[in-house]
Chain A
Amino acid sequence: MKEFWKRITDKYGYPKVLITIFLIILCIIAVIQQQNLPGLLKDSLVRIGMNGVLVLAMVPSINSGTGLNFGLSIGILCGILAGCISIELKLTGMTALIAAILMSIPFSVIAGYLYGLLLNRVKGDEMTVGTYMGFSIVSLMCIGWLLLPFQSPDMIWAIGGKGLRTTIALADKFGKVLDDFLSFNVLGEPVPTGSLLFFGLMCVIVWLFFKTKTGVAMIAAGDNAKFAAANGINVNQQRVIGTILSMVLGGIGIVIYAQSFGFFQLYTGPLMMPFMAVSAVLIGGASAKKANIANVVSGTTLFFALLAISLPVINKMMPEGNLSEVIRIIVTYGVILYALTKVGGDN
């Protein structure tokens, strides 16, 4: 038994094993509590489709050597900005979604390029700097949301008529358009097919990218910068490309998130979003130095299934207070803490 445990933890890492065990226990309790199991399953799938691309955004930044992208909120802001523009242009439905995604890309590329230049100046401290950079830009954009000249009555404050609202409803814009795309019912619950397919498509694209010449160079630069330099790879350039890709995925990710969630959350909404994505990819078995698509898929599945299932189960066990929220916080930050203690720990 001890042998078995050691083998499993060596192969998958503690976070993945422990979270899986925790998830199984929650599932058992859910059965005992006679929860609506198909409903829980649907909630899990929705959350996976919703957050998958955001988690995927961690892969290029980790592999290019800039570590976990705690500054992902910058990319998220680009996505929100693009989404707002698409609403301003009075677009709706799938057109609005695609327009939002396409418009977010140039913003993300510019932001990622500048952010990448910054990260090249603070080598070794990317994650700390990234965290505060993310916080700063979110705060800066709080002013931006007030000042940007948006006119659409769906977005600006009803009274006074200046500045954007804190939450913008997407129900009659592009809310749920992907979730409902090709959706079918299983056990009486709708499956968010479109979002899951889109997540899968993005995974394949990123996977293919890491098989290209640039992708291989990026992994080498992130794994061993000295080696890369000695073999004619421009390390700083690869880091910038990795950062840009991460930001672009972050921008697309938030648009997908919002369509599923039904709202854009402005102002301090994006403040803590990178942490969830960071945590999920770490649970999937990534480290601050290496990540792959399998880490993303398994991490997203485990982490967001855990959140979806723990909420009703724990609330039923302890109706008073919001223990499930506490669990979410413990898991999120606990996993990040664990991963950060592992950085460079094997020398």
Chain B
Amino acid sequence: MDEQYILQLKNISKEYFGNKVLKEVNLNVKAGEIHALVGENGAGKSTLMNIIFGMPVIHSTGGYTGEIIFDGKTVDIKSPKDALDLGIGMVHQEFMLLPGFTITENIKLNREITKHNPVSRILGDIMKSLDIKAMRKDAKEDLQKLGMDIDEWLPIQGLPVGYMQFVEIAREIDKKNIRLLVFDEPTAVLTESEAEKLLEAMKKISSQGIAILFITHRLDEVLSVSDSITIMRDGEQVSHMNTKDATLAKIAELMVGRKIERVVHEIRESKNNNEIIMTIKNLKVNMPGEEVKGLDLEVKKGEILGIGGLAGQGKIGIANGIMGLYKSSGEVYLGNTKLELNNTRKAIENKLAFVSEDRRGVGLLLDTSIEMNIVITSMQVQNRFLKSLFGIKLFNIKDDKAIRSWALKMIKDLDIRCTGPTQLTRRLSGGNQQKVCIARALTLEPEILFVSEPTRGIDIGAKKLVLDLLVKLNRELGVTIVMTSSELGELRSICDRIAIIYDGKLEGILNPTDSDADFGLMMAGKYGAKEVV
């Protein structure tokens, strides 16, 4: 039986600094099949691909355990070059093409066909000239295999995005030894008709005996083109099935499903509380990669509202847009007053606070002390922690004593593990850095606290502490919390309601106790389709 598989992964495990990201994963890809690999963000798909391609990041972090069998032989892939030599190709999400070169030149890059000329006959192969004619012929054939009818001598620059993707694929299938092609979310940047064309091309490629490993979020594509499906979740392979046995709901459920540890058990009274603290109308945020395209949402006073969705659908953009970090338009009302957009200062003055998802980039001054990190926003916007110098009113300097005592209180209240308030935040662990960010937000005494990806890059123990802290703030201080997270599990563990964002818009609002299938379908943007099926 084994011989028919082109690629077999057996018990692959991988740790990053003690954090298990892949646990005993098995994957079997037959020759000539389209094998879909689906899973949420962070399920371990990219890490698995990095292992198959022998990316340096794997080996510089201690390698992996398990066995890779390619074409019946156990192989040890140490570098991307090894992978290429074996016949594994990759179609990248970002186009790795030279814009100034023609399609042919891009396809044939570094594999140019050469011919002898008078000089090369004397000076050797290095002086051979390009056989443009043969190269163009090859390129034309490759493009035709994909069902593309385009002049192969056009420059890449100015081609529609969809075409670039095809050129990238053509380059891969031009390699004569190619046996397995990996498509990493190839349709993410394509329009619907382009995506359809791509899927057709994939079928054509697989019919020529090349196996395809297809990584995607779009479940309908999986159902329409793949032969078999492997589903991953939290670094584990949770299921493998043939596509003919699969349904949309089944995949969605497996992708999301996990035991939910509900931190908050009591039924919230605030559910009955319908006072709206913030109304968002037709919000558009121009945040690259996380664009919001007209969102309507209401936030109730005193709740923890979760915002979920897959990466790139725009959930991250919401808080960034309201806080004025990225250009936004639309209307945001706090109670009845309209909030001025694109003005961070105004947002903070209106009792909004934000804990950024980019903790080390936006969230902290890494080479500044914990205490200054905690008080700086309050000092700048609310003029707190200042005292006059020599009794002159106009001349205010920072009040070191007040800063110190407040920082010590915060360190104690939030249990920030550090050597003292003057320690640089760079030296803190991820969880403690996050607590410093939260402490700064709290110092502003906000009414609404936006928290983005609060547990990203934090180890498991600290994750729970951060989540518990958010619940505590909500219950004891009455802060309304809007938490954005890619981890559905953590949203479901503490939120009162969860808004799922798809394609920059609100797909729907669910209760944390709703079924896995509902969450899965909503995240895939197929919730509306459920009733129809």
**A interface residues with partner B (beta carbon < 8 Å):** 208, 211-213, 216-217, 219-220, 223-224, 226-227, 229-234, 290
Contact = CB atoms under 8 A, between A and B. Distances in A.
B113 to A, nearest CB: 41
B421 to A, nearest CB: 16
A270 to B, nearest CB: 33
B363 A232 contact: no
A250 B140 CA distance: 65
Interface stretch (B256-264, B365-373, B477-485): B365-373
A231 B325 CA distance: 10
B344 A212 contact: no
A293 to B, nearest CB: 15
Contacts of B367: 223, 290
A226 B372 CA distance: 16
B398 A216 contact: yes
22 contacts: A208-B389, A211-B398, A212-B395, A213-B396, A213-B398, A216-B379, A223-B365, A224-B364, A224-B366, A226-B358, A226-B362, A227-B361, A227-B362, A230-B344, A230-B356, A231-B376, A231-B377, A231-B381, A232-B348, A232-B377, A232-B381, A234-B345
B323 interface: yes
Contacts, number: 68
Given A217-B380, A224-B365, A231-B348, 6 more contacts: A216-B379, A220-B365, A220-B368, A230-B363, A232-B348, A232-B381
B383 interface: yes
Contacts of B362: 224, 226-227, 230
Of B345, B366, B376, B395, the most chain A CB neighbours within 10 A belong to B376
B354 interface: yes
Nearest to A219: B368
A212 B383 CA distance: 11
Given A212-B397, A213-B380, A216-B372, A232 B354 contact: no
Contacts of A219: 368
B386 interface: yes
What are the 8 closest A-B residue pairs judged by CB atoms, nearest first? A232-B345, A211-B397, A231-B377, A226-B362, A232-B381, A232-B344, A232-B348, A230-B362
Nearest to B320: A230
Contacts of B325: 229-230
Contacts of A216: 372, 376, 379-380, 398
Interface string B309-351: 0000000000000010100000000000000000011011100
Contacts of B323: 230
B398 A223 contact: no
B308 to A, nearest CB: 23
A146 B16 CA distance: 69
Contacts of B363: 227, 230
A233 B381 CA distance: 8
Nearest to B323: A230
A322 B525 CA distance: 77
A103 B362 CA distance: 41
Given A208-B397, A213-B396, A217-B380, A229 B344 contact: yes
A105 B323 CA distance: 38
Contacts of B365: 220, 223-224, 227
Given A213-B379, A213-B383, A231 B368 contact: no
Contact of A226 (B348, B361, B379): B361
Interface string B56-71: 0000000000000000
B190 to A, nearest CB: 31
A217 B383 CA distance: 12
A230 B347 CA distance: 10
Contacts of A226: 358, 361-362
Contacts of A213: 379-380, 383, 386, 396, 398
Given A208-B389, A213-B386, A226-B362, A231 B397 contact: no
Contacts of A231: 344, 348, 376-377, 380-381, 440
Nearest to B399: A211
A220 B366 CA distance: 10
A229 B363 CA distance: 11
B393 to A, nearest CB: 13
B396 A212 contact: yes
A290 B372 CA distance: 16
Contacts of B381: 231-232
A211 B389 CA distance: 10
A241 to B, nearest CB: 14
A10 to B, nearest CB: 15
A219 B376 CA distance: 11
Contacts of A229: 325, 344
B368 A223 contact: yes
Of A219, A220, A227, A229, the most chain B CB neighbours within 10 A belong to A227
Nearest to B367: A223
Contacts of A208: 389, 397
A231 to B, nearest CB: 4
A192 to B, nearest CB: 29
Nearest to A217: B380
Nearest to B348: A232
A227 B325 CA distance: 10
B372 to A, nearest CB: 7
Contacts of A290: 367
A229 B347 CA distance: 12
Contacts of B383: 213
Of A211, A232, A233, the most chain B CB neighbours within 10 A belong to A232
A208 B345 CA distance: 25
A229 B380 CA distance: 11
Contacts of A233: 380
A211 B399 CA distance: 9
Of B323, B344, B349, the most chain A CB neighbours within 10 A belong to B344
B356 A220 contact: no
A231 B398 CA distance: 17
Interface string B395-422: 1111000000000000000000000000
